[in-house]
Structure 1
Amino acid sequence: MTPTNNISDAPVFPEPLRLPLTKEELDSINDYLRPLVPEEILTWAVDHIPGLFQTTAFGLTGLVAIDMLSKITSSPPPLIFLDTLYHFPETYELVEEVKKRYGVPVKVYKPEGCDTTQDFEKKHGEQFWETHEDAYDFAVKVEPARRAYEELGVKAVITGRRASQGGDRAKLQPLEVDSTGLLKLNPLFAWNFHLVEWYIKENNVPRNKLLDQGYKSVGDWHSTVKSGEGEAGERAGRWAGREEKTECGLHVDYFKMKSAATEKGQGTA
């Protein structure tokens, strides 16, 4: 895509950035990043943001960022993959394909004290996602993520979120700071699904095989279904039967999620 801004004309930001950022600094950075194309945003981030990693469930937008980074730098940020223990076999196959294709380190984190689905169900009970939904999200996503950030020294993560996905993402900015102080970079925040799909095809980027079988968005197997005919929304089929749910918990306020999990006796982070 044609650059929309001259990256050499960037305001003077320290390399690396001094954290935490003030609101004025964050606003200034977003003013600069907003007109840039994703490759430029990622280039800026690699040059300026300390402790940068990429969190990914290997969805299409995350895969685009992985491919872009492979062309920007010979040492792309390591990937953090949160293995909920309930991913589809096709998702695990894709993880191995990406590792082979790009040679980028993948740091895998599972629910605390669990290596298998059986371990998880022995600790939390069967169908925990139905009986205690928020506590489930905390156990499989939020707690492992916080543990990864602490153990790996993560200061910032690259996400695959886009404003066109709607819900809580509709007013997304290029760079955000969450309630814990973690920086979240959203390099494709302004792209729509058609641009993502175009990039995947144009660059022959590996993708989940389930997307060719009627799935629009792939999460855990127990809460992901094929989208119905004419069903709107690029995340159709996720959290089937729970139309009000738009996030898995990873991008919800950490302290809110921890509080909800603690009420169910699951808060350990």
Structure 2
Amino acid sequence: MTSAVYDEPYEEDVKTRNVESGYASGASEDDSLPEVTFSKQHLKFLNSQLQRAEPEAILQWCIMSLPSLYQTTAFGLTGLVALDMLSKITTPIKPNVDLIFLDTLHHFDETLSLVERVRKNYPRFTVHVYKPEGVETADEFASKHGQTLWTKNEELYDYVAKVEPAQRAYSELQVKAVLTGRRRSQGGKRGDLDIIEVDEAGLIKINPLANWSFKQVQEYIHANNVPYNELLDRGYKSIGDWHSTQPIAEGEDERAGRWKGRAKTECGIHNPKSKYAQFLRQQEVKRQEEELALGLQGISVA
């Protein structure tokens, strides 16, 4: 029997044919494979299917389908429910989902205490903490940005305390997808949430408990002995920074205590690019144009 001998060019031909035929496996060494992407039709189909699924099933789909998956959390009730559900998944594919906590340096002491309790209760999940760039304490923040920046320039505060740290976390950790704690019943701009969203930067955001009510979340917390923020027993339902969070009255929307008395309902992380971020980009473009003009002027003088 004659054996066939193939040299390296044959292997290259096979790889070329596989790519041309539309075939590529996860074991492929081809670095040109695309990141996770969804067409509009595919995204619409997935949302229609996952809309009818329980949160546990959505989380299982996520850990099987999405690489570089993280959970962004301020340790609100919904995020804690998702974390507890992840910890109890018993399928052969175990969740490897780290947490990202944006420490604005202006959280309640009760929130920071909860972070440590979560670390103790769920040791398998790493908590990555990101603070405003270049500062470690509230005093350092005030020295760099001035006292009560949130009242003098709210968009700038949101950018330096939340948006930029989130973008830095996504870049450094190479995040491709995140689990959030947003729900439709929270009101405001969250009333028409899909299960899966893709933002303008291509980040995939999954809202596994989008269909749940506050009551359902609260019942799960108590039934499963999940640690939660003590402020919830004092009339708070949605908890952010101490300077922009208040208890709510009976019958008010769940997030009515955030930025009370203002039209604002989001901090910028889940909005399209903040106006301040757009301003920064415009300033950078202007700086580059000025440098180019100076360079051209130098050439003409020479």
Normalised-by-shorter TM-score class: 0.7 to 0.9
**What's the counterpart of residue 118 of structure 2?**
98
Offset, 1:260: 5.0
Alignment of 1:1-269 (within 5 A): 18-72=35-89, 74-103=94-123, 104-228=125-249, 230-242=250-262, 244-254=263-273, 256-259=275-278
Q: What is the alpha-carbon root mean square deviation over aligned residues?
A: 2.1
Offset, 1:152: 0.2
**What's the counterpart of residue 3 of structure 1?**
none
Offset, 1:215: 1.6
The 1:65/1:223 distance shift into structure 2, 3 A limit, reads same
SS of the aligned residue for 1:80 comes to: strand
Letter of the aligned partner of 1:84 in structure 2? T
Offset, 1:231: 4.9
Q: Is the 8 A contact 2:36 2:66 kept in 1?
A: no
Q: Is the 8 A contact 1:179 1:253 kept in 2?
A: yes
**2-side partners of 1:106 and 1:59: how far apart?**
15
Structure 1 range deviating more: 38-47 or 28-37: 28-37
**1-side partners of 2:167 and 2:109: how far apart?**
25
C-alpha distance after superposition, 1:124-159 (max 9, x if no partner): 111000011111111111100000000001000000
Q: Is the 8 A contact 1:138 1:261 kept in 2?
A: no
Letter of the aligned partner of 2:134 in structure 1? G
Offset, 1:210: 0.8
Letter of the aligned partner of 1:44 in structure 2? W
Q: Provide the identity percentage.
A: 54
Aligned length, in residue pairs: 250
Higher relative contact order (CA 8 A, sep 6+): 1
Letter of the aligned partner of 2:231 in structure 1? L
**1-side partners of 2:281 and 2:251: how far apart?**
36
**2-side partners of 1:99 and 1:15: how far apart?**
33
Letter of the aligned partner of 2:51 in structure 1? R
Letter of the aligned partner of 1:247 in structure 2? E
Letter of the aligned partner of 1:24 in structure 2? Q
Q: Is the 8 A contact 1:180 1:254 kept in 2?
A: no
C-alpha distance after superposition, 1:182-236 (max 9, x if no partner): 00000001111111111111111100001112222211011112224x3511123
**2-side partners of 1:260 and 1:127: how far apart?**
21
Q: Is the 8 A contact 1:165 1:233 kept in 2?
A: yes
Q: Is the 8 A contact 1:135 1:260 kept in 2?
A: no
The 1:38/1:257 distance shift into structure 2, 3 A limit, reads farther
Offset, 1:255: 5.2
Offset, 1:167: 1.3
Letter of the aligned partner of 1:35 in structure 2? R
SS of the aligned residue for 1:72 comes to: coil
TM-score, normalised via structure 2 length:
0.78
Segments of structure 1 that go 5 or more residues without pairing to the other structure are 1-13
Offset, 1:248: 1.1
Letter of the aligned partner of 2:69 in structure 1? L
